[in-house]
Structure 1
Amino acid sequence: MFPYEGRLVNLRAKNCYDKIELQRFLRGAIKLGFEIIPLIQTFGHMEFVLKQKEFYHLREDPKYPDSICPTKIESQMLIKEMLIQMVNFHKNISPLKFIHIGCDEVFHINKCYECSRENFSNTDIFIKHIRKIKQIVEDINPETTVLIWDDMFRSIKLKSWNEIGYFNKIQTVYWDYGANSSVSHVNLLKYHRKFDNIWIATAFKGADGRLSTIPNLKNRFLNHLNWLKLIANYKFGGETNFHSFVGIILTGWSRYSHFDPLCELLPASIPSLLLNLLLIRKFNEGHLSYNNDIKEMEFRTFFNKYLQTDFSDSLHCVIHDIEKTNYSSCIFDGCELYNYLSEFLKIHENVIYYFESEKHGLSSLQYYANQKNLINTNNAVMNMKLCNGTLHELFDVERKLLVVMSQYYGNDTIEEYINAKMFHLKYKLEGSMKLLKDLMGVRAFETSLKHLKWDSTVLESH
């Protein structure tokens, strides 16, 4: 989405921000009190670069466009130019205190000839690369500190970790998006010894599945609550003072990767964002300080005691249970989109039921129609009405989504999102309709016992 220029112009998305538009947005955010931290991928998740023909040769493994070769000089020049454009754009608007360089999920490392001939371990190559990136950032703007995702550090054994030098002007971000925390205290201690500060990262959307439509509010709430319970009055072994984590990044992913479909849309995810911001405010007010009663409190009890009133007031509706609430009566920017997506999910649920349930069993239609040339015509009439009615419901929701999404997104995004959501449902329903119509003609059916022949003379003789 960043409006790259010059040699990097092909890295722009078709619907990237206009420079003037982006400057206006950033200045508006700063006036509201936001500090901007841009994120730019510099190792893994680089499909948006490495899919391009002109940068294809910089892949670590030619088959996979997600990881760049860190050893090639051209790779370093490319990343440097990306950082120059990004850092200069931001610092010309306001001082750039932090920049996030990504570096998570580097699935392919130390595979190409240039890397393997160096005879370094994967860890050595990774550490060397991020130190280079940090130096590039420092050369461009000495006031900027680098943030980096932590997951590539997690598997480094303590013995090897102790041999790694201190990371000056680099701070790590420990991400964990699960409802049930799997945070490693050993890794936290590793980071504490090597970095000036540790951030944590949660997810208010984008962590419930690649095809998720609306955030699972319970899972998103538990993710934040469990993180906050863990870091409240946190002490590292052998230390007497509580550790102060520098910040919490509430991530909201829209795709799992560059080539994956869109998952939850931001406007429909506002209730999750709002709830978890309210939770963090309670944390900052000291409601999660060292108190065993609160730390052991079941999440529903915590919600009802500390958040229910504020959450209900913010959404202008009464919310008793975050698991079972229907937000269709609530008022927030995005509620109309939320309601139409809820309608879509109901239709989706019904289609799955029609095809997989023992009552309807439409999943068996394909086999009996194509392999046996058989059909229960009484059921076929009912199923045709069912498919036809469901298709009309689907087309109605599609029309509504086209209108409401135009308030937030361009045509390319709208077309991709709606078609991806509707495609497999239409395919099932329209395919079943065609089969049913083809088999509904008046005809005789062949017997399955083909070796027997009907002899009418037997009856006549009696």
Structure 2
Amino acid sequence: MSGPSLFSMRIVHLDLKGAPPKISYLSEIFPLFRALGANALLVEYEDMFPYEGHLKLLRAQHAYSPSEIREILYLARQNELEVIPLVQTFGHMEFVLKHDAFSHLREVALFPNTLNPHKAESLALVTAMVDQVMELHGGTRWLHIGCDEVYYLGEGEASRQWLQQEQNSKAKLCLSHMTAVAGHVLAHQPTTTPLVWDDMLRDMPEDLLQESGLPQLVEPVLWDYGADLDIHGKVVLMEKFQKCGFPRLWAASAFKGATGPHQALTPIEHHLRNHLQWLWVAQAGPAGLLQGIVLTGWQRYDHFAVLCELLPVGIPSLAICLQSLLRGGFSQEVKDRVESCLGVASLDTTDFTREGTGCFPGSDILALVTQVSLHLRSSVEALLDGNRYVTGWFSPYHRRRKVVHPVMVQHMQPDVLSLLARWGALVPELEAALQRVFYPDAVEEWLEENVRPSLQRLQDLAQDLAEATASPTA
């Protein structure tokens, strides 16, 4: 494999539609991104952007202010990280179309994910979003306009009628909206090149792509997050796009957030394999066509999904993947460099301990999340479902009636109280660590999804045991 020149741009994706970090954490982590080999950021603001005017209702409760956006851009410049903003303009529009004020612009009335491309108001909406984002990102060389996973396109009533006309197709409908958005960007910012995700374009006929004029307006980002890429298929797709007239292409891998919507810990081996295979694609494809690679780090699968791996949890994976891209493969040199940057004793461990997770910004969150994910649920289940005294003498039947054999209490209670003390001490520590990095709503959501169900089961058992012990029938 030829080495680091395969991807001149190595772009870390910040998905802010879930658990967006505080600016203070970004100030700590940007230098590490740079040290590991990143030279750009793809910032997917979604509802964290400070939209104004009639778009103000799109803001999340803790949306960044304009001054905070400027601070992010300043911090990025300080660390030689070029910022590419991402604005969804077609699919994944849930954060916009969930609002009553914009629900009439849905392609299908029931579903808030896809914009109706037939209405002039739809284009006005997304171009207004683009304009506000671009106003705070003056001089950006690229703007990503999304356009992936445009589900249910063509299924709205207006689309059905349009598709009945001869020679109309879903592909043409898709291309017409993409070209309209991209054309707006270039008309107002001629030095900014729009990027689009490639999935809606992959299967379109070459002649249709050529005739649409889109290849002169945008650069596709080919994304695939699997551990076993179809390398030949990717090369064929690159050649197809090149033949259609796209002058430049980009790749997109994943360092986290692509192995399950409820994933809490990042499977590093999966993501490393994904990146190594993208290196093979870059080597096998047309020379010089791939400009760079976006290392995506999804925080939700969509606006309504639960949180997957938190950013600090995915840092070791990001580090290994970035360094492998930089050095053209995974090697002892990569391993040594990552261990040095993260302060990790060894990358061989999968069950991170407090001592083994390193000293990078957020490493305490990784250590505590690992404890919770690997041990909290299993320890509670082992007590409730595997302890012979609990299952034999304090079953749900006994607990409802507050009845327990006094002799058995001494076999159960120490284990219950010990486990409760252990988790009762760790959870406040985790909450405090999360609060240093994330806003209150993200902290609350993560704890409610990942901690409280198991902890509540344990607390309920302790409470039932205490009440049964105090009962006169005990």
Does TM, normalized by the shorter one, top 0.5?
Answer: yes
Q: Take 2:215 and 2:278, find their aligned partners in 1: how far apart are those partners?
A: 25
2:371 alignment partner, one of 319, 338, 343 = 343
1:321 alignment partner, one of 336, 348, 356 = 348
2:192 alignment partner, one of 144, 147, 158 = 144
1:247 alignment partner, one of 279, 282, 292 = 292
Give unpaired runs (5+ residues) of structure 2: 1-47
Match of 1:118, SS state, is helix
Partner of 1:220: 271
Match of 1:148, SS state, is strand
> Given that residues 402 and 464 in structure 2 are in contact (C-alpha distance below 8 angstroms), is that contact kept between their aligned partners in structure 1?
no
Whichever residue aligns with residue 242 of structure 2, its letter is H
1:406-417 equivalent positions in 2, closer than 5 A: 406-417=435-446
2:97 alignment partner, one of 45, 50, 59 = 50
Partner of 1:453: none
Q: 1:96 Cα shift?
A: 1.5
Q: 1:423 Cα shift?
A: 2.7
1:210 alignment partner, one of 258, 261, 272 = 261
User: Relative contact order (alpha carbons < 8 A, sep ≥ 6): 1 or 2 greater?
Assistant: 2
Deviations along 1:248-286, whole A, 9 cap, x unmatched? 111111111111222222223222222222111102xxx
Whichever residue aligns with residue 4 of structure 1, its letter is Y
Deviations along 1:230-258, whole A, 9 cap, x unmatched? 322x145xxxxx35411011111111111
Partner of 1:271: 316
With over 3 angstroms needed to count, the CA separation of the structure-2 counterparts of 1:69 and 1:310, relative to structure 1, is same
With over 3 angstroms needed to count, the CA separation of the structure-2 counterparts of 1:429 and 1:132, relative to structure 1, is same
Deviations along 1:197-241, whole A, 9 cap, x unmatched? 111111112123222223222222222122213322x145xxxxx
> Given that residues 50 and 63 in structure 2 are in contact (C-alpha distance below 8 angstroms), is that contact kept between their aligned partners in structure 1?
yes
Q: 1:171 Cα shift?
A: 0.8
> Given that residues 347 and 390 in structure 1 are in contact (C-alpha distance below 8 angstroms), is that contact kept between their aligned partners in structure 2?
no
Whichever residue aligns with residue 225 of structure 2, its letter is Y
Give unpaired runs (5+ residues) of structure 1: 237-241, 289-301, 445-462
Match of 1:203, SS state, is strand
Q: Which has the larger radius of gyration?
A: 1
Match of 1:259, SS state, is coil
1:408-427 equivalent positions in 2, closer than 5 A: 408-427=437-456
Q: Take 1:24 and 1:151, find their aligned partners in 2: how far apart are those partners?
A: 33
Whichever residue aligns with residue 213 of structure 1, its letter is A
Whichever residue aligns with residue 418 of structure 1, its letter is L
> Given that residues 44 and 103 in structure 1 are in contact (C-alpha distance below 8 angstroms), is that contact kept between their aligned partners in structure 2?
yes
Q: Take 1:18 and 1:226, find their aligned partners in 2: how far apart are those partners?
A: 39
1:109 alignment partner, one of 147, 153, 157 = 153
Whichever residue aligns with residue 243 of structure 2, its letter is R
Q: Is the deviation greater in 400-409 or in 423-432?
A: 423-432
Partner of 2:431: 402
Whichever residue aligns with residue 279 of structure 1, its letter is S
Q: Is the deviation greater in 19-28 or in 183-192?
A: 183-192
Q: Take 1:364 and 1:156, find their aligned partners in 2: how far apart are those partners?
A: 65
Whichever residue aligns with residue 97 of structure 1, its letter is R
With over 3 angstroms needed to count, the CA separation of the structure-2 counterparts of 1:350 and 1:229, relative to structure 1, is farther
Q: Is the deviation greater in 37-46 or in 359-368?
A: 359-368
Q: Take 1:384 and 1:153, find their aligned partners in 2: how far apart are those partners?
A: 62
> Given that residues 209 and 215 in structure 2 are in contact (C-alpha distance below 8 angstroms), is that contact kept between their aligned partners in structure 1?
no
Match of 1:132, SS state, is helix
Deviations along 1:23-49, whole A, 9 cap, x unmatched? 122023123322110001111111111
Q: Take 1:368 and 1:157, find their aligned partners in 2: how far apart are those partners?
A: 65
2:238 alignment partner, one of 184, 188, 196 = 188
Match of 1:390, SS state, is helix
Whichever residue aligns with residue 253 of structure 2, its letter is T
Q: Is the deviation greater in 254-263 or in 72-81?
A: 254-263
> Given that residues 223 and 252 in structure 2 are in contact (C-alpha distance below 8 angstroms), is that contact kept between their aligned partners in structure 1?
yes
Partner of 1:130: 178
Partner of 2:333: 306
Q: 1:99 Cα shift?
A: 0.5
2:215 alignment partner, one of 167, 171, 178 = 167
Q: 1:89 Cα shift?
A: 1.7
Deviations along 1:109-160, whole A, 9 cap, x unmatched? 1122122111132222111111111111112211111111112223446686
Match of 1:54, SS state, is coil
Whichever residue aligns with residue 209 of structure 1, its letter is G
Whichever residue aligns with residue 350 of structure 1, its letter is S
> Given that residues 196 and 219 in structure 2 are in contact (C-alpha distance below 8 angstroms), is that contact kept between their aligned partners in structure 1?
yes
Q: Take 1:270 and 1:401, find their aligned partners in 2: how far apart are those partners?
A: 17
> Given that residues 199 and 222 in structure 2 are in contact (C-alpha distance below 8 angstroms), is that contact kept between their aligned partners in structure 1?
yes
Q: Take 2:158 and 2:401, find their aligned partners in 1: how far apart are those partners?
A: 59
